[in-house]
Copies of this chain bind each other. A is one copy, B any other.
Amino acid sequence: MSNPTGVQPQPADRAHVETHFESGEMVRDIVIGLSDGLTVPFALAAGLSGAIASSRIVVLAGLAEIAAGSIAMGLGGFLAARGDAEHYVSERLREEREVVERVRDEEEEIYEIFEQYDVPRASAAPVLEALKKNPTKWVDFMMRFELGLEEPKANRALSSALTIAGSYIAGGLIPLLPYMLVSENLLALKLSAVITLLALGIFGALKGRLIGTGWLRSAVQTVLIGGAAASVAYLLARILNGHAG
Protein backbone atom coordinates (compact mmCIF):
# COMPACT_ATOMS: atom_id res chain seq x y z
CA MET A 1 0.00 0.00 0.00
CA SER A 2 1.30 3.40 -0.95
CA ASN A 3 0.33 6.59 0.83
CA PRO A 4 -3.14 7.69 -0.13
CA THR A 5 -3.17 11.02 -1.96
CA GLY A 6 -6.16 13.11 -2.97
CA VAL A 7 -9.43 11.14 -3.00
CA GLN A 8 -9.52 8.33 -0.47
CA PRO A 9 -12.33 5.84 -1.05
CA GLN A 10 -12.72 3.83 2.15
CA PRO A 11 -9.12 3.56 3.29
CA ALA A 12 -10.19 1.86 6.54
CA ASP A 13 -12.01 -0.78 4.57
CA ARG A 14 -8.94 -1.47 2.51
CA ALA A 15 -6.78 -1.85 5.60
CA HIS A 16 -9.39 -4.23 6.91
CA VAL A 17 -9.12 -6.44 3.84
CA GLU A 18 -5.38 -6.76 4.29
CA THR A 19 -5.78 -7.74 7.94
CA HIS A 20 -8.30 -10.32 6.84
CA PHE A 21 -5.87 -11.79 4.34
CA GLU A 22 -3.15 -12.17 6.94
CA SER A 23 -5.13 -13.69 9.81
CA GLY A 24 -7.24 -15.60 7.30
CA GLU A 25 -6.20 -19.19 7.81
CA MET A 26 -6.55 -19.47 11.59
CA VAL A 27 -9.86 -17.61 11.50
CA ARG A 28 -11.08 -19.84 8.71
CA ASP A 29 -10.25 -22.94 10.75
CA ILE A 30 -12.09 -21.60 13.81
CA VAL A 31 -15.08 -20.71 11.65
CA ILE A 32 -15.09 -24.18 10.04
CA GLY A 33 -14.96 -25.93 13.41
CA LEU A 34 -17.43 -23.69 15.25
CA SER A 35 -20.01 -23.56 12.44
CA ASP A 36 -20.35 -27.31 12.28
CA GLY A 37 -19.74 -27.86 16.00
CA LEU A 38 -22.54 -25.51 17.02
CA THR A 39 -24.90 -26.82 14.35
CA VAL A 40 -24.66 -30.59 13.96
CA PRO A 41 -24.59 -31.84 17.58
CA PHE A 42 -27.35 -29.33 18.36
CA ALA A 43 -29.50 -30.61 15.50
CA LEU A 44 -28.79 -34.23 16.37
CA ALA A 45 -29.72 -33.71 20.04
CA ALA A 46 -32.88 -31.86 19.04
CA GLY A 47 -33.77 -34.60 16.59
CA LEU A 48 -33.25 -37.39 19.12
CA SER A 49 -35.13 -35.58 21.88
CA GLY A 50 -38.10 -35.47 19.52
CA ALA A 51 -38.11 -39.25 19.44
CA ILE A 52 -36.46 -40.57 22.57
CA ALA A 53 -37.49 -39.93 26.15
CA SER A 54 -34.11 -40.54 27.78
CA SER A 55 -31.82 -37.52 27.92
CA ARG A 56 -28.99 -39.94 28.75
CA ILE A 57 -29.13 -41.35 25.22
CA VAL A 58 -29.27 -37.84 23.77
CA VAL A 59 -26.11 -36.90 25.67
CA LEU A 60 -24.43 -40.17 24.68
CA ALA A 61 -25.25 -39.64 21.01
CA GLY A 62 -24.21 -36.01 21.20
CA LEU A 63 -20.82 -36.82 22.75
CA ALA A 64 -20.24 -39.64 20.26
CA GLU A 65 -21.03 -37.17 17.48
CA ILE A 66 -18.63 -34.58 18.89
CA ALA A 67 -15.87 -37.19 19.14
CA ALA A 68 -16.51 -38.45 15.62
CA GLY A 69 -16.97 -35.02 14.08
CA SER A 70 -13.95 -33.38 15.70
CA ILE A 71 -11.65 -36.26 14.75
CA ALA A 72 -12.97 -36.47 11.19
CA MET A 73 -12.77 -32.71 10.65
CA GLY A 74 -9.45 -32.27 12.44
CA LEU A 75 -7.73 -35.11 10.59
CA GLY A 76 -9.35 -33.96 7.36
CA GLY A 77 -7.95 -30.47 7.93
CA PHE A 78 -4.53 -31.93 8.76
CA LEU A 79 -4.39 -33.89 5.52
CA ALA A 80 -5.72 -31.00 3.44
CA ALA A 81 -3.08 -28.61 4.80
CA ARG A 82 -0.31 -31.17 4.38
CA GLY A 83 -1.52 -31.88 0.85
CA ASP A 84 -1.36 -28.15 0.03
CA ALA A 85 2.19 -27.97 1.37
CA GLU A 86 3.31 -31.03 -0.60
CA HIS A 87 1.64 -29.74 -3.74
CA TYR A 88 3.46 -26.43 -3.37
CA VAL A 89 6.84 -28.09 -2.86
CA SER A 90 6.45 -30.46 -5.83
CA GLU A 91 5.28 -27.68 -8.14
CA ARG A 92 8.14 -25.50 -6.98
CA LEU A 93 10.70 -28.22 -7.68
CA ARG A 94 9.27 -28.61 -11.17
CA GLU A 95 9.44 -24.88 -11.84
CA GLU A 96 13.03 -24.83 -10.57
CA ARG A 97 13.91 -27.56 -13.06
CA GLU A 98 12.04 -25.91 -15.86
CA VAL A 99 13.67 -22.48 -15.64
CA VAL A 100 16.94 -24.36 -16.16
CA GLU A 101 15.99 -27.17 -18.55
CA ARG A 102 13.22 -25.54 -20.57
CA VAL A 103 14.21 -21.89 -20.58
CA ARG A 104 12.47 -21.15 -23.90
CA ASP A 105 9.16 -22.60 -22.73
CA GLU A 106 9.26 -20.71 -19.47
CA GLU A 107 10.05 -17.49 -21.33
CA GLU A 108 7.10 -18.15 -23.61
CA GLU A 109 4.89 -18.71 -20.57
CA ILE A 110 5.82 -15.29 -19.19
CA TYR A 111 4.80 -13.70 -22.48
CA GLU A 112 1.55 -15.68 -22.40
CA ILE A 113 0.76 -14.50 -18.88
CA PHE A 114 1.13 -10.89 -19.95
CA GLU A 115 -0.77 -11.42 -23.21
CA GLN A 116 -3.87 -12.27 -21.17
CA TYR A 117 -3.78 -8.63 -20.07
CA ASP A 118 -3.09 -7.25 -23.56
CA VAL A 119 0.52 -6.47 -22.64
CA PRO A 120 2.53 -6.89 -25.86
CA ARG A 121 5.70 -8.99 -25.96
CA ALA A 122 7.91 -5.94 -26.37
CA SER A 123 6.56 -4.43 -23.14
CA ALA A 124 6.94 -7.69 -21.21
CA ALA A 125 10.50 -8.31 -22.42
CA PRO A 126 12.22 -6.05 -19.84
CA VAL A 127 10.40 -7.86 -17.00
CA LEU A 128 11.59 -11.17 -18.39
CA GLU A 129 15.16 -9.88 -18.62
CA ALA A 130 15.01 -8.77 -14.97
CA LEU A 131 13.58 -12.12 -13.81
CA LYS A 132 16.26 -14.07 -15.68
CA LYS A 133 18.93 -12.36 -13.62
CA ASN A 134 17.57 -14.02 -10.47
CA PRO A 135 16.27 -17.57 -11.00
CA THR A 136 14.84 -17.83 -7.46
CA LYS A 137 12.68 -14.75 -8.03
CA TRP A 138 11.76 -16.08 -11.45
CA VAL A 139 10.47 -19.27 -9.82
CA ASP A 140 8.66 -17.17 -7.17
CA PHE A 141 7.03 -15.25 -9.99
CA MET A 142 5.91 -18.38 -11.85
CA MET A 143 4.51 -19.96 -8.68
CA ARG A 144 2.29 -16.98 -8.04
CA PHE A 145 1.49 -15.72 -11.54
CA GLU A 146 1.42 -18.89 -13.61
CA LEU A 147 0.14 -21.40 -11.05
CA GLY A 148 -1.60 -19.10 -8.56
CA LEU A 149 0.03 -20.87 -5.61
CA GLU A 150 1.19 -19.23 -2.38
CA GLU A 151 3.70 -20.80 -0.04
CA PRO A 152 1.85 -22.44 2.89
CA LYS A 153 3.13 -21.64 6.36
CA ALA A 154 5.27 -24.23 8.14
CA ASN A 155 3.48 -26.42 10.72
CA ARG A 156 0.19 -25.26 9.32
CA ALA A 157 -1.18 -28.81 9.16
CA LEU A 158 -0.95 -29.53 12.89
CA SER A 159 -2.20 -26.13 14.04
CA SER A 160 -5.04 -26.34 11.50
CA ALA A 161 -6.07 -29.78 12.78
CA LEU A 162 -6.02 -28.72 16.44
CA THR A 163 -7.85 -25.46 15.77
CA ILE A 164 -10.63 -27.15 13.81
CA ALA A 165 -11.05 -30.03 16.28
CA GLY A 166 -10.93 -27.73 19.34
CA SER A 167 -13.49 -25.36 17.85
CA TYR A 168 -15.76 -28.26 16.98
CA ILE A 169 -15.61 -29.63 20.53
CA ALA A 170 -16.17 -26.19 22.09
CA GLY A 171 -19.11 -25.51 19.79
CA GLY A 172 -20.60 -28.98 20.23
CA LEU A 173 -20.60 -28.97 24.04
CA ILE A 174 -22.81 -25.86 24.24
CA PRO A 175 -26.03 -27.49 22.97
CA LEU A 176 -25.40 -30.62 25.08
CA LEU A 177 -25.03 -28.83 28.42
CA PRO A 178 -28.79 -28.58 29.13
CA TYR A 179 -29.24 -32.30 28.46
CA MET A 180 -26.49 -33.04 30.98
CA LEU A 181 -28.01 -30.82 33.66
CA VAL A 182 -31.77 -31.24 33.13
CA SER A 183 -33.31 -34.68 33.18
CA GLU A 184 -36.59 -33.65 31.55
CA ASN A 185 -36.01 -33.93 27.82
CA LEU A 186 -38.44 -31.33 26.49
CA LEU A 187 -37.18 -28.69 28.92
CA ALA A 188 -33.59 -29.55 28.00
CA LEU A 189 -34.46 -29.20 24.31
CA LYS A 190 -35.92 -25.73 24.89
CA LEU A 191 -32.90 -24.60 26.92
CA SER A 192 -30.55 -26.10 24.34
CA ALA A 193 -32.33 -24.27 21.52
CA VAL A 194 -32.16 -20.95 23.38
CA ILE A 195 -28.48 -21.05 24.30
CA THR A 196 -27.38 -22.56 20.98
CA LEU A 197 -29.28 -20.10 18.80
CA LEU A 198 -27.89 -17.32 20.99
CA ALA A 199 -24.37 -18.72 20.58
CA LEU A 200 -24.91 -19.07 16.81
CA GLY A 201 -26.08 -15.45 16.66
CA ILE A 202 -23.04 -14.15 18.54
CA PHE A 203 -20.70 -16.32 16.47
CA GLY A 204 -22.39 -15.22 13.23
CA ALA A 205 -22.15 -11.55 14.19
CA LEU A 206 -18.44 -11.84 15.04
CA LYS A 207 -17.79 -13.76 11.83
CA GLY A 208 -19.64 -11.11 9.82
CA ARG A 209 -17.58 -8.31 11.35
CA LEU A 210 -14.38 -10.19 10.74
CA ILE A 211 -14.91 -11.09 7.10
CA GLY A 212 -16.73 -7.84 6.36
CA THR A 213 -20.15 -9.08 5.22
CA GLY A 214 -22.00 -7.11 7.91
CA TRP A 215 -22.65 -8.47 11.40
CA LEU A 216 -26.46 -8.51 11.37
CA ARG A 217 -26.82 -10.33 8.08
CA SER A 218 -24.19 -12.88 9.08
CA ALA A 219 -25.83 -13.41 12.49
CA VAL A 220 -29.26 -14.01 10.91
CA GLN A 221 -27.81 -16.43 8.33
CA THR A 222 -25.91 -18.43 10.94
CA VAL A 223 -28.97 -18.72 13.22
CA LEU A 224 -31.14 -19.77 10.27
CA ILE A 225 -28.73 -22.52 9.21
CA GLY A 226 -28.59 -23.94 12.74
CA GLY A 227 -32.35 -23.60 13.16
CA ALA A 228 -33.10 -25.22 9.81
CA ALA A 229 -30.77 -28.15 10.42
CA ALA A 230 -32.20 -28.72 13.91
CA SER A 231 -35.83 -28.39 12.75
CA VAL A 232 -35.42 -30.87 9.92
CA ALA A 233 -33.58 -33.34 12.15
CA TYR A 234 -36.30 -32.96 14.81
CA LEU A 235 -39.16 -33.48 12.34
CA LEU A 236 -37.42 -36.37 10.61
CA ALA A 237 -36.79 -38.15 13.91
CA ARG A 238 -40.40 -37.61 15.03
CA ILE A 239 -41.81 -38.92 11.76
CA LEU A 240 -39.51 -41.93 11.68
CA ASN A 241 -40.21 -42.67 15.32
CA GLY A 242 -43.97 -42.43 14.85
CA HIS A 243 -43.66 -44.70 11.86
CA ALA A 244 -41.45 -47.28 13.53
CA GLY A 245 -42.93 -47.18 17.03
Instruction: Please report A residues at the B interface, Cβ cutoff 8 Å.
Output: 1-10, 13-14, 17, 21, 35-36, 39-40, 42-44, 47-48, 51-52, 56-57, 59-61, 63-65, 67-69, 71-73, 75-76, 79, 83, 86-87, 91, 94, 97-98, 101-102, 104-105, 108-109, 112, 114, 116-120, 122-127, 129-131, 133-134, 137-138, 140-141, 144-145, 148, 150, 211-213, 221, 225-226, 228-230, 232-234, 236-237, 240-241, 244-245
The majority secondary structure among interface residues of chain A is helix
Q: Whose C-beta in chain B lies nearest to the C-beta of A119?
A: B130
A101 x B2 contact (CB < 8 A)? no
Q: Whose C-beta in chain B lies nearest to the C-beta of A9?
A: B97
Q: Whose C-beta in chain B lies nearest to the C-beta of A78?
A: B225
B52 x A57 contact (CB < 8 A)? yes
| 9 residue pairs, one from A and one from B, having the closest CB atoms | A43-B68, A47-B64, A123-B126, A2-B108, A39-B72, A71-B229, A119-B130, A68-B233, A64-B233
CA separation between A43 and B94, bound complex, in Å?
40
Give this chain's copy count: 2
Q: Whose C-beta in chain B lies nearest to the C-beta of A71?
A: B229
A72 x B14 contact (CB < 8 A)? no
**What chain B residues lie within 8 Å of A129 (beta carbons)?**
123
Q: Given contact pairs A2-B105, A44-B68, A68-B230, enumerate 15 new A-B contacts (beta carbons under 8 Å).
A: A2-B108, A5-B102, A9-B94, A9-B98, A36-B73, A40-B69, A60-B240, A65-B65, A68-B232, A69-B229, A71-B233, A87-B212, A118-B130, A124-B126, A144-B145
Q: Are A71 and B225 CB-contacts (below 8 A) given A213-B83, A237-B64?
A: yes
B127 x A127 contact (CB < 8 A)? yes
**Sample (20) of A-B pairs whose CB atoms are under 8 Å apart:** A2-B112, A3-B105, A10-B94, A39-B68, A40-B72, A44-B61, A44-B65, A51-B60, A56-B245, A64-B234, A64-B237, A67-B233, A71-B229, A75-B225, A86-B213, A117-B138, A120-B130, A123-B126, A126-B126, A145-B145
CA separation between A35 and B236, bound complex, in Å?
23
Distance of A145 from chain B, by nearest CB (Å): 6
Q: Are A134 and B108 CB-contacts (below 8 A) given A65-B65, A68-B39, A68-B229?
A: no
Q: Are A67 and B51 CB-contacts (below 8 A) given A76-B36, A119-B130, A124-B127?
A: no
